[in-house]
Structure 1
Amino acid sequence: MTTDSEALANAFHGALVAKDWEGMRTLFHDDATWTLPGDNVISGQAAGVDEVIDRAKLIASYGLSFKLEHILLSRDNMALGLHNTAERDGIRLDEHLATVCRLRDGRIAEVETFLSDIPGMNRFFVRPS
């Protein structure tokens, strides 16, 4: 049996992989936030659905492979266990992460991403020269 949260997690991952930004927009509340650790171009908090979508576009623009390994469910929220890999200008990204989504009324209100390799993320996500 698929829960609504599990379907939402699959839809979020699917929209990210397909670069379906308008589809992704429908999954989020207008006041959604997305927080990422580190000190690089994708770090910090994106506030509002427009910034959240811009953050997703920026992450995808670096050519990542987003392998969904697990969907983790709590009573009210969900998390995506991902393995992201990419290579750019001789720099390799190979990280495991949990993207924790707090839900409100069946849509994503807040995302917080936890990473296995913040220094590697900082090296990879720099402004292209």
Structure 2
Amino acid sequence: MSEANKQILVKANAAILKRDFEGFLLLCTEDTTWTFEGDRTIEGKEAVREWMRATYVEPPDLNVHRMIADDEYVVALGDIMLKDEQGKAVRHSYSDVWRFRDGKMAELHAFVIKA
């Protein structure tokens, strides 16, 4: 199951790079919950869809350095380049802890810092 969950996350990340938000959301549960430590919590597919549209105006430069899987969890470590309000590219390091349920991404706990 761990390897299958890693492959789901790889597929989800590929969708993000193409700005295929609907393809990404097909891999999430309806009640998916995303917690960005120290920032906000987003609940449900519609809220995630809105967040993605606002945040990923352009495809991000996403680099996953390592994935570690155990049972229903996958941890992804990497960096992502996003544009700020002024259009300047800003690099962030991240650690995403994903919990899977029934082959879909049910929960994200993200730790993101400017690099």
Identify whether the pair has TM-score above 0.5, normalized to the shorter chain.
Answer: yes
**One of 72, 75, 90 as aligned partner of 1:76:** 72
CA RMSD of aligned residues (A): 2.2
Give distance in 2, aligned partners of 1:34 and 1:90: 25
Question: 2:17 is paired with a residue of what secondary structure?
Answer: helix
Q: Could you state the TM-score of these two structures normalised by the residue count of structure 2?
A: 0.83
CA distance in 2, matches of 1:75, 1:29: 17
Instruction: Map 1:55-66; keep pairs closer than 5 Å.
Output: 55-61=51-57, 64-66=60-62
1:77-108, CA deviations, whole angstroms, 9 ceiling, x for partnerless residues?
A: 11222211245537451221011111111101
Gaps of 5+ in 2: none
Q: Is residue 54 of structure 1 aligned with residue 50 of structure 2?
A: yes
1:85 to 81, 84, 89: 81
Report the count of equivalent residues. 113
Q: 1:93 to 1:15 in 2, by over 3 A?
A: same
Counterparts of 1:1-129 in structure 2 under 5 Å? 3-38=3-38, 43-61=39-57, 64-88=60-84, 89=86, 91-117=88-114
Sequence identity of aligned pairs in percent? 19
CA deviation vs aligned residue, 1:26-60 (integer Å, no higher than 9, x gap):
1011011111134xxxx411111111122222221
> Which structure has the larger Rg?
1
**Contact 2:19–2:59 at 8 Å: present in 1 too?**
no
Residues 78, 66 of structure 1: alpha-carbon distance in 2 compared, 3 angstrom cutoff: same
